[in-house]
Amino acid sequence: MIDDEFERVLSGARLGSGAAFAALYAWLAPNVVSYLRRQGAEDPDDLASEVFLGVFRNIATFQGTGDQFRSWVFSIAHRRLIDDRRKRGRRPVTVPDHGRLVHRSLVDVESEVERHLSAKTVEDLCGDLPDAQRDVLLLRVVSDLTVEQVATILGRSIGATKALQRRGLATIRKKLDKGVPR
């Protein structure tokens, strides 16, 4: 959504326009559901509904650009996910993909992950990572957020977020170097 269109839609949503709410939902809901599903939410669609109820309930308080709005929505999604994890009292369950991945040596793991691996493969590779590393990588790669946006969402410094990303990518590199089963 371009900034002019975003401003028009945001204004409409603040005035209670159903069409504006639907446009915002259509713009971001698929990515939010995907993020929640890959994080192991028990019912990602239901949790996404809670996210958007929170967004629409508090939309009058939002100030910023379309990118900032997207980051704000993912902040809410991440907090709802944490609440969901606490409520369930266990680590998120990742459903294994029985697809195949061709082993390759990677010179630049981050660019290779972003260019060649499917979101599902990224999910599988991130499944064994510590929660903080997995959160950073999924927000960066699957949700396509910047390091700064991810740091804000997770309540971490940019340096800490970059360090978590580096450690997570290093772990993935080791897995790929050992060879992923065919």
What is the C-alpha to C-alpha distance for residues 65 and 71, in angstroms, rounded to an integer? 10
Nearest to 135 by CA among 52, 70, 77: 77
User: Helix H segments across the chain?
Assistant: 3-14, 18-38, 44-57, 66-88, 109-116, 119-126, 131-137, 147-154, 158-178
pLDDT digits (tens, 9 = 90+) for 99-152: 444 444 334 555 545 544 555 666 677 778 888 888 888 888 777 788 898 999
Greater confidence, 105 or 48? 48
Token readout for 19 is 């069409």
pTM: 0.62
Q: Which amino acid is at 121?
A: T
pLDDT digits (tens, 9 = 90+) for 15-43: 988 899 999 999 999 999 999 988 888 88
**Distance of alpha carbon 142 from the chain centroid:** 6
The DSSP 8-state label assigned to residue 139 in this structure reads: I
Q: Which amino acid is at 19?
A: A
What is the C-alpha to C-alpha distance for residues 39 and 92, in angstroms, rounded to an integer? 7
